[in-house]
Structure 1
Amino acid sequence: MAANFWTSSHFKQLLDQEEVDVVQQLDKDRGITLEDFKLIKMHMANYILKLAQHVKVRQRVVATAVSYMRRVYTRKSITVQAKLIVFCIKKLYSDEKYRYEIKDILEMEMKVLEALNYYLVVFHPYRSLSQLLQDAGLNDMSLTQLTWGLVNDTYKMDLILVHPPHLIALACIYIASVLREKDTTAWFEELRVDMNVVKNISMEILDFYENHRMITDERVNAALSKLPLKP
């Protein structure tokens, strides 16, 4: 993996929000709206997380898998054995429409790689987050846990496709410091980052939480019903 984000394929593959919020024509023909599209991706991110908890992989592996999923859907892996994934899917879901076999998982592998244009490098906010929290002197366990939780939740959105990971980390620190009433103004000024960008990302995260409260299972199921699922 490239050691420097700014020279990596991840940086070169960053997208504008307008490029992420695109519903492909085939999906439009099925009646899928942009709101449906976002709900489906959120559902799939939750599905990956739930599956990963059973497979017992690290959070960064989960985050990478979710990032790949989101990258794929802008253009047209969990690193464990396919047989284990199939076993856990069958354990989690008894519904026949989720009855995938090992060969189905392996056949999709090349399709996913092609959809990603073989750009597999992903830099996550986690490394920056640890360094930034230490630099800011924010050692409060409650604030630290809140910040890490915020970063985890950003993978329910498309932020990793649009923004550099250190800015996502800074936005989460900004939100957490406001909620925990920690004055980090001087520290942010010393960083010389564009606070307008940090605050805009923060608002995206907060807007997600606000909108998430209005998301019901019925809305998610209505969006999923428009997809051609394998019987």
Structure 2
Amino acid sequence: MAASYWESTQRRYWQFSKDELAQMREKLEESEQSLVQMFPLPQRRHLSIYFNQQLNRLGKRLGVRQQALATAQIYLKRFYCKVEIRRTNPYLVIATALYLAYFLTLDISRLGECEFFMISEMHSQLIVHQPYRTLTSLQSDFFLSQEEGNLALSIVNDHYMTDLPLLYPPHIIALTAILLALVLRPNNSGGTAANMAAATTTALAQVQAQAQAQAQMPTRTSGSSGNQNASGSEKDRQQEARAKVQRYVAFLTESAIDIEGMVDCTQELISFYECHEQYNDKITREQINRFVKARGLDKS
């Protein structure tokens, strides 16, 4: 892996603005207008959910670890920034992405051809920096409980089904996941998209307000000790939770973190979770299989 994300090909060649990403996808559809009109597909978030499910099923069968699955998801996103999906057999592309991420020895017809195609479209830039390292290193700094850490990890895993890996650095994703885990809390009831939006908006607004006031009167929140007292009262647990959020807010206030980027990441994740509620696996699968079979992409 490259020594630093900031010097990596990921940052130099595979991080885009939302406008850049939209323009790339628009050009792809314009180049294949007849296919686009002939084979309508579900919205992109639903396709990402479906691809994620197929990757997880294949990965579970082969015993592939989560970080390799995450890398495969990024390869899929990069590849489909360059190639219109209707030109490909997505199942073959999924298997190839997993092969590249984990160097499997799969006896799948045309896998070698698809591997060359994918590597070529990614210009052999296969190194991927992920949020997991940042998340692991910061868990103890913010005294995350095991449940909070697991929730943050789950959010990081979910972000691979969005455009965020193509838009923001890994550390921004990790910090957003920690924030969401702190404001939602595993034992907090009603962890809906609406509650997520309200809680994170409040926390990030607090960061911005403190940042403005810091020049005149720097704010530091000592919080409480990192010991997790399982026998504490509900009031104690609430105070501990507030202290964790305040500690986190103080950290963001005093750092040079891209708060606007975190706001955007939060909004994208909220939109994704709302979209996930309308996901229909059967419809998505049928629409993909229709163009794969109609164009003979499932044949050798």
Q: TM-score range by the shorter chain?
A: 0.7 to 0.9
Is the 1:151–1:169 contact (alpha carbons within 8 Å) kept by the matching residues of 2?
yes
Question: Percent of aligned positions with the same letter in both sequences?
Answer: 28
Match of 1:82 among 101, 105, 119: 105
Moved more, 162-171 or 181-190: 181-190
Match of 2:175 among 157, 161, 170: 170
Is the 1:37–1:223 contact (alpha carbons within 8 Å) kept by the matching residues of 2?
no
Question: CA RMSD, aligned part only?
Answer: 2.1
Structure 1 counterpart SS, 2:271: helix
Is the 1:72–1:116 contact (alpha carbons within 8 Å) kept by the matching residues of 2?
yes
Is the 1:174–1:202 contact (alpha carbons within 8 Å) kept by the matching residues of 2?
no
Structure 1 counterpart SS, 2:50: helix
Q: Please name the residue that 1:20 is paired with.
A: 21
Unaligned runs of 5+ in 2: 84-99, 186-240
Report how far residue 19 of structure 1 moved: 3.3
Look up the equivalent residue of 1:79 and give its one-letter code.
Y
* Rounded Cα–Cα distance in structure 2 between residues aligned with 1:173 and 1:110: 37
Match of 1:124 among 125, 130, 143: 130
2:106 is equivalent to residue 107 of structure 1: no
Look up the equivalent residue of 2:272 and give its one-letter code.
F
Q: Please name the residue that 2:56 is paired with.
A: 49
Structure 2 counterpart SS, 1:15: coil
**Taking structure 1 as reference, are residues 82 and 103 closer, same or farther at Cα in structure 2, changes over 3 Å only?**
farther
Match of 2:259 among 195, 216, 227: 195
Look up the equivalent residue of 1:189 and give its one-letter code.
T
* Rounded Cα–Cα distance in structure 2 between residues aligned with 1:17 and 1:35: 20
Is the 1:36–1:223 contact (alpha carbons within 8 Å) kept by the matching residues of 2?
no
* Rounded Cα–Cα distance in structure 2 between residues aligned with 1:176 and 1:33: 37
TM-score by length of 2: 0.65
* Rounded Cα–Cα distance in structure 1 between residues aligned with 2:180 and 2:158: 13
**Taking structure 1 as reference, are residues 190 and 34 closer, same or farther at Cα in structure 2, changes over 3 Å only?**
farther
Q: Please name the residue that 1:134 is paired with.
A: 140
2:298 is equivalent to residue 230 of structure 1: yes
Question: Following TM superposition, where does structure 1 have runs of at least 4 consecutive aligned residues deviating by more than 6 angstroms?
Answer: none
Report how far residue 111 of structure 1 moved: 0.7
Is the 1:15–1:162 contact (alpha carbons within 8 Å) kept by the matching residues of 2?
yes
2:176 is equivalent to residue 153 of structure 1: no
TM-score by length of 1: 0.83
Larger Cα-atom Rg: 2
Structure 2 counterpart SS, 1:82: coil
Structure 1 counterpart SS, 2:141: helix
What is the count of residue pairs matched by the alignment?
A: 213
Report how far residue 222 of structure 1 moved: 4.8
